[in-house]
Amino acid sequence: MSLFLIFSCLILCAGKSMGACPIEMGPSKVVVSYGGSFSANCSSLTHDTIGMGWESQHGGVELTLGVTTLPFKIDKVNDFIISPSCYIYRQDDSQCIEKLPVTVYQLPTRVYLHEPSSLTMLEGQQYGLKCEIFDVAPAKNLSVLWYKGNKKINTASSSESSLKPVKVLSEMSFTASREDDSAQIWCEAQLNLWSAEQKLPSNKSNSYKLTVLSAPAFTMPENETVTLQALKNLTLNCTATGNPSPKYRWQLPHASQEMDEDLTQSILSPSFVLPGHYACTASNSQGSSTKYFNVIKDPGNQATLAAIIGVFAALGAVLFIIGVLLVKSDGTFSCNKGSYQPASSRPV
């Protein structure tokens, strides 16, 4: 029953304020900065208007007879809550009134990012960040933007409903990742107001440069099986990211190899390559990690080699046979010749 009453009142009241007052405001709503000025026109849309006026706590406009448009102006807005209203008198002695919605704003006087509990962070750990925005109005139209480098990482809004300037605290929890090392972090306050003018300028906080410590992680993390190829240099890549910069240590399959190499490089190009298990350990203060390379002979290459050898062997056999044939004919000839000479000499 009471719900029904509320409903009928809502419908009636809405109908009354919208339908009953034939007024047009120009502009229909106002956004003005504290200390600024604005003006608006109230126009009556009926022909039976006797007079109109403006009501306001900050100096209205007296009932003015015989006009259908009446301007209103405030030269210096010195309150955060102002609600001027325009009213008309009609020939049937009725009057109606309508509010002009006015939003008074104030850009923050200061936007301050608190220093994180630790500027040297550990990868994967959570850190709380606090941004304080001072003397902003209206707070419900404030967005707090969080930036890391030039990337926006979060947007927060305030639930504060005060129309007067307030201090807004925005908190964000942040998980440090290795990519965040050396990134600048800051917050920004932006008032989002409907306004004919361009977007209001945002206010940036101070910023902090982050340091994120992280254990070595290989840029190519999988263990590798590398095939030795004839006439090609072997290159083993153990490059890892991490902070502080990782140090490297290689282990080669044969101790004799280790004499000639610099075993502290991230990329190893052994001058004397042998198949076997190579290992590289990258380490820094945050941890260490080992990657394995299994260097094997190319079985495919050996087959090719075998094929080449086979071809050469076959060729050799053919050459040999040809050679034997040649030698044989030549030999026969020379043998004949030889046998001829002794034969000729023998009878002598």
Ligand X SMILES: *[C@@H]1O[C@H](CO)[C@@H](O)[C@H](O)[C@H]1NC(C)=O
- Residues 143-182: x where in contact with ligand X by CB under 6 A, - otherwise, as a string: ----------------------------------------
Per CB under 6 A, 289 contacts ligand X = no
8 A C-beta contact, residue 245 and residue 283: no
Distance CA 143, CA 108 (A): 12
- Residues 81-120: x where in contact with ligand X by CB under 6 A, - otherwise, as a string: ----------------------x-----------------
Distance CA 122, CA 126 (A): 9
Shortest approach of ligand X to residue 128 CB, angstroms? Answer: 26
Burial of 175 (0-12, 13-18, 19+ CB in 10 A): exposed
Q: Running DSSP on this structure, what letter comes out for residue 123? A: T
Interface with ligand X: number of residues (CB under 6 A): 15
Per CB under 6 A, 39 contacts ligand X = yes
Per CB under 6 A, 194 contacts ligand X = yes
195: number of Cβ within 10 Å: 15
Nearer Cβ to ligand X (221/347): 221
Q: Running DSSP on this structure, what letter comes out for residue 269? A: -
Nearer Cβ to ligand X (143/227): 143
Per CB under 6 A, 312 contacts ligand X = no
Candidates 3-11, 218-226, 244-252, 327-335; binding stretch for ligand X (CB under 6 A): 218-226
DSSP characters over 142-194: EEEEEEETTEEEEEEE-----SS-EEEEEEEEEE--GGGTT-EEEEEEEE---
CA angle 206, 211, 214 (to 5 degrees): 155
Q: Which of residues 225-284 bind ligand X (CB under 6 A)?
A: none
Nearer Cβ to ligand X (92/222): 222
- Residues binding ligand X (CB under 6 A): 26, 31, 39-41, 71, 103, 140-141, 193-194, 221-223, 292
